[in-house]
Amino acid sequence: MTKYIFITGGVVSSLGKGIAAASLGLLLKSRGFRVVNQKFDPYLNIDPGTMNPFQHGEVFVTEDGAETDLDLGHYERFTDENLTQNSNTTAGRVFLSVLDREREGGYHGGTVQVIPNVTDEIRDRIMRPARETAPDIIITEIGGTVGDIESLPFIEAIRQTRNEVGTENCAFIHLTLMPYLKKAEELKSKPTQHSVKELQGLGIQPDIIMIRSERPIDFHIREKLALFCNVLSDAIIQNLDARSIYEVPLMMEKEGLGRIVCRVLSLPDVEPELSGWEEMVRRLYNPEKEVRIVLVGKYVELRDSYLSVIESLTHGGIANCALVNIDFVDSEELTDYEAVNARLSGCDGIIIPGGFGDRGVEGMILAVRYARENSIPYFGICLGMQIAVIEYARNVLALEGAHSTEMVQSPSHPVIDLMPDQNGLRLGGTLRLGRYACRAVPGSLIEKAYGTADISERHRHRYEFNNDYYDLFTKSALKPTGINPERNLVETVELEGHPWMVGVQFHPEFKSRPNRAHPLFRDFIAAAVIHATEAGAVK
């Protein structure tokens, strides 16, 4: 029988519920349990696909092409399990299903209500993985903060789930914040008490209270909280700030989280196998070299917009025993070559991740030119590949006015364009999404990186390399080196005679893992390490 763990949040948002859920997934998986993580978001968008990156951060794409919340990236990176369309459900999607059913007469003339109709739909989705893959444990994170109006149906649904599956098969974990008041030199437990009271008022008694805090929580506070919140004192788990998110599961294990969850769920506790993870964290904390990577983008004010790219760069660093310092540069600041020189000189690698729309694109083109002319390792992802193609078309192939039809309506040379069957598309779910095959040209950098010519990667884009220019590029130094076999689409380009310049139409960052860096991020950082060493030798 599948067991259920629900993680709710209280006091404030941004406490790292996703990392807590992902860490717990790892701790249980490392005990030999089959675990599925999923997230329920109370907002009304159908999915985060059309949301502004400034508001919502990155959109994480699953193998099967779902556009999901960035917490799913944490789940995949920590548990090393691929998630699916079902792994992220929003209130919008729940309501859409209920309303569709109503229009189809599915409620047989009855009044459609939040309870039971909406809560039934939520419960059905919570339990879906149990029916489909029957894991030992389903960990469900409820987005938002307890007390929000929009999260009420979700809290009610998880309360009902506990009654349905029985208390021994269900655990509630509530994550809160304990602020430290400098002047009083005191940690304050009152916000947690209030938040737990709020949850209790909704019919949920948490089994475990996990508390974010910048200071260790002493025995007396734990005792007091346990008394007020009606939990055992060892079920108060402190979640201190960590140097790296990858240390969090190890800290949680020391706090006894895995053991206590097993106790609550009447599961046998076994020693977790975490040696590989510990070794990875040890490598992360003991780098032997250092590189400076410049990330050029237009969403740099909100780092979460590039979350998976940032994590993947870190993974590449771990694989190379190198500390990766990332310098974020707003492409709109790169107004001319002097500005580029001032911001980018001395770096060991340049990366341009995905993006949409024309803002800041000219600055990105200048950055690519700088990388190309100065032999600086360059990694272009999705938009970053398209920019590399445009730059080369303009400045080397002398195709004046070369551009993407995403940026200008009728460029003289539309080197990046829509496919003929893509005209008249609507926004939302109309991108090329999810897993597609790519075949690498023998001897290419990508074939070398992957160690095979058969590649499969996740996509999220609308525009493509225009094959009218295929022959011209093949004869040039910026060669297409990876092709999608079904539709003959150019998936990767590489610059011959440059230390490492690779553009990929797909998003490798979604498949990188801390203990198994994505081969392209690994090789990009390796090239940056060489660049740093050579630059050091010249100095």
| Active site members | 382, 507, 509
CB atoms within 10 A of CB 425: 12
In whole angstroms, the minimum distance from the beta carbon of 170 to ligand GLN comes to: 39
Three-state secondary structure call for residue 44: coil
Q: What is the rounded distance in angstroms from the CA atom of residue 180 to the CA atom of residue 195?
A: 17
244-303 positions binding ligand GLN, by CB under 6 A: none
Part of the chain binding ligand GLN (CB under 6 A), chosen from 101-109, 222-230, 394-402, 459-467: 459-467
211 pairs with which residues across the strands?
A: 176, 238
Of 283, 462, 479, 513, the residue at the interface with ligand GLN (CB under 6 A) is 462
| Burial (0-12, 13-18, 19+ Cβ within 10 Å), 327 | middle
Residue 178 or 382 having the CB closest to ligand GLN = 382
SS3 for 271-333, per residue?
CCCCHHHHHHHHHHHCCCEEEEEEEEECCCCCHHHHHHHHHHHHHHHHHCCEEEEEEEEEHHH
In whole angstroms, the minimum distance from the beta carbon of 129 to ligand GLN comes to: 28
Does residue 463 bind ligand GLN (CB under 6 A)? yes
In whole angstroms, the minimum distance from the beta carbon of 363 to ligand GLN comes to: 16
Residue 94 or 309 having the CB closest to ligand GLN = 309
Part of the chain binding ligand GLN (CB under 6 A), chosen from 91-99, 136-144, 251-259, 350-358: 350-358
- The candidate with the shortest Cα–Cα distance to 502, out of 348, 295, 315, 349, is 349
Residue 172 or 392 having the CB closest to ligand GLN = 392
Of 292, 372, 460, 511, the residue at the interface with ligand GLN (CB under 6 A) is 460
- The CA R_g of the chain, rounded to the nearest whole Å, is 25
In whole angstroms, the minimum distance from the beta carbon of 512 to ligand GLN comes to: 16
Does residue 406 bind ligand GLN (CB under 6 A)? yes
Of 65, 135, 355, 414, the residue at the interface with ligand GLN (CB under 6 A) is 355
Give me the 314-333 binding string for ligand GLN, x by CB under 6 A, dash otherwise.
Answer: --------------------
The torsion defined by the Cα of 464, 469, 472 and 476, in degrees rounded to 10, comes to -20
**Residues 6+ positions from 263 with CB-CB distance below 8 Å:** 269
Residue 20 or 350 having the CB closest to ligand GLN = 350
Part of the chain binding ligand GLN (CB under 6 A), chosen from 193-201, 310-318, 348-356, 449-457: 348-356
Tell me the CA distances in angstroms from 440 to 219, 455, 491, one per residue in order: 59, 7, 9
Of 39, 212, 372, 461, the residue at the interface with ligand GLN (CB under 6 A) is 461
Paired tokens of 288:
């032997």
330 pairs with which residues across the strands?
A: 297
CA atoms 447, 450, 452, 453: torsion sign: negative
Q: What is the rounded distance in angstroms from the CA atom of residue 527 to the CA atom of residue 302?
A: 27
Does residue 403 bind ligand GLN (CB under 6 A)? no
Q: Are 239 and 248 in contact (CB under 8 A)?
A: yes
Residue 69 or 406 having the CB closest to ligand GLN = 406
Q: What is the rounded distance in angstroms from the CA atom of residue 463 to the CA atom of residue 382?
A: 9
In whole angstroms, the minimum distance from the beta carbon of 472 to ligand GLN comes to: 20
Residue 128 or 462 having the CB closest to ligand GLN = 462
In whole angstroms, the minimum distance from the beta carbon of 371 to ligand GLN comes to: 18
Does residue 354 bind ligand GLN (CB under 6 A)? yes
375-394 positions binding ligand GLN, by CB under 6 A: 382-383
In whole angstroms, the minimum distance from the beta carbon of 460 to ligand GLN comes to: 5
In whole angstroms, the minimum distance from the beta carbon of 54 to ligand GLN comes to: 16
Part of the chain binding ligand GLN (CB under 6 A), chosen from 146-154, 282-290, 421-429, 454-462: 454-462
In angstroms, how far is the first alpha carbon of the chain from the final one? 64
Residue 217 or 364 having the CB closest to ligand GLN = 364
Residue 368 or 382 having the CB closest to ligand GLN = 382
CA atoms 431, 434, 436, 441: torsion sign: positive
Q: Are 357 and 462 in contact (CB under 8 A)?
A: no
> For residue 243, which phi and psi values (nearest 5 degrees)?
-65, -40
In whole angstroms, the minimum distance from the beta carbon of 13 to ligand GLN comes to: 26
**Residues 6+ positions from 327 with CB-CB distance below 8 Å:** 292, 293, 294, 295, 347
In whole angstroms, the minimum distance from the beta carbon of 492 to ligand GLN comes to: 14
Of 356, 362, 441, 515, the residue at the interface with ligand GLN (CB under 6 A) is 356
Does residue 417 bind ligand GLN (CB under 6 A)? no
**Residues 6+ positions from 183 with CB-CB distance below 8 Å:** none
**How many residues does the structure list for the chain?**
539
Part of the chain binding ligand GLN (CB under 6 A), chosen from 25-33, 156-164, 205-213, 352-360: 352-360
**Strand locations in 158-220, DSSP E?**
170-177, 180-181, 186-187, 208-213
Size of the site for ligand GLN (CB under 6 A): 10
Residue 390 or 527 having the CB closest to ligand GLN = 390
CA atoms 528, 60, 75, 207: torsion sign: positive
492 pairs with which residues across the strands?
A: 482, 504
Q: Where are the alpha helices (DSSP H) in 50-189?
A: 53-56, 71-79, 91-103, 119-126, 128-132, 152-165
Does residue 65 bind ligand GLN (CB under 6 A)? no
Residue 427 or 537 having the CB closest to ligand GLN = 427
Part of the chain binding ligand GLN (CB under 6 A), chosen from 299-307, 349-357, 482-490, 520-528: 349-357
Contacting positions for ligand GLN (CB under 6 A): 354-356, 382-383, 406, 460-463
